[in-house]
Structure 1
């Protein structure tokens, strides 16, 4: 990487830090007005975004991208409206900064407040989804943070156009456009440079596949808010209603199979399986789902392939599913403990005690009873957009909305107290 490129990235980080100072002085109303204006401009310029996106799709097709990657990359008028509407939802949410979380007065009269404040400068490293460019920007600005965006090369043209439109919109608001920095270089050394810019960047958020997340977590000296891949499981218990179980599973698997909250493994109690396997496999065949199963599954469904160790851990991101039969809820939980990624897990049962036990024993950011895993999403849970889904346990867990992008500051007010 050239010295000029290195200096350019550092200069962008310096500008972001300066912009964060200005952003921190703005009122909630000023931030909201800016975010709403950005949303409006994205909708008005949708054709420009789609034209740029077409260039990325042509490049992706030439590179033989998988159907899952193409799906993540593809923009439509509907998807542009969706992420613009997500910005409008963010504008309507409570400002997460300036909230007094606790307050007390010491015996010496010193008053102590803990108040929420922005993290500062967020470095966002992500892959093929252009919507992340918008979601991350909206959440960062509303929470008073500047953001440095490093999207994947596969969505370069889409991201460049989106950021250009956002910059043009911000120039007509009180938020400086420098609060949104986009790194267009596709040199991998640029990403590595972001890993170590601790003097300018307060936190890194990686969003993408396992290799990207691992690279950031293992190499960054900047603190990392870790998001996770989604090997999500659905467990159909012996007491599951088939009229709930099949629609929930099919929704979780096929609604958008390329996203991280899609189901990748189906665990079925053998009692339920013995009664309902024909209906299950008819639906799998109807939906065109490739099946990788244990011996019981393969023996009942000739089109299934015998699952390998890799299949149980696979995030298919397409129409593939691993199916395992078990004798008990404990065996299902053991399987999830071994192969799950602590993202989203679900139990389908009409037995309240089984549901309570499953939900208390499974270690994941989001756990469902009789519902699809597809709801692990900031928009679906009322957060507006989301900046990622955290599978770690420190600072933030699950879909990360506005509160996850703040920290606290202790403010002490006295009348001349000194410590003796």
Structure 2
């Protein structure tokens, strides 16, 4: 085998098989434009593989921080030491994480990198022999080339087909389980700061189970890291499984409608829900109108001023009532998803733990009303005067 050449003349499968047959020790480097892959061999066995440094670092950062395997500050310290002292990440991580986890991460990088190389059809290759190869045999296990080729070649054929059915890997996606409520922190009951965590312990998982949807381990691994949203590439890097396993899982989740593309939301202090944010803006605007009306005494008589203030306060409470109704509407959706039916009364939402008793009281200190008529129902506040219907605040029926 020539020590260097082009993949047009000698494909990657033949190169790997030849290195194994000849029992070579050294490093195979593949290069094409900005892409690079380096595969290290010991007597024909693959012991390590790496890609472009920025991609490997991004992948490592995603899996470590998303899964809360290291603290954010700790990762920044590792990065700095890596840059300042040129120490390998694996050496630095060995002081921060358990050896079993370290072995898992190394093994995953090696296999994914080799499988990535098997999709190459263009580029150059160069094999550099190494006479005295020293490495940590406990952390870098020998892998048989033929074993990797059997699975890797199948994946190389399947990857383009599956990738073509998915959005571009830069696409930002979110979970599509209970719609607008998915950004609610209460839905991920065992989540870290990124909103990712144990999906199996979340309300969203319970909702899917109630719908009769069964998820396999690969799909669960993806949903564990989606959190409040990530790009497809970030999901593949963060999930604690191989890239192809995540690729298949994402396709399945898209087909089931559990994942969907979305516009990336800016993360603000407290992760305020967008609807609540705009409701607060509306309330603030209405309050300002009240204040302006209060200072209008120079231009209007006291009766007119009092009436303006009263109308302004009514508008504020009207907006607050609508916000409360929308909150109950969301609770109704969750209840129906879990129970498969509408509640008999609003008290069912409290008993099931979806809402608090205080959330059933409107700004006029009256209970919100839920009235059924045949298969439809109306959700409303009785307004300032509970005996008159002219001041009622209605919300369109949320369920078909």
For the criterion TM > 0.5, the same-fold answer is no
Larger RCO, structures 1/2 (Cα 8 Å, 6+ apart): 1
TM-score by length of 1: 0.24
TM-score by length of 2: 0.24
Structure whose CA Rg is larger: 2
More helix by share: 2
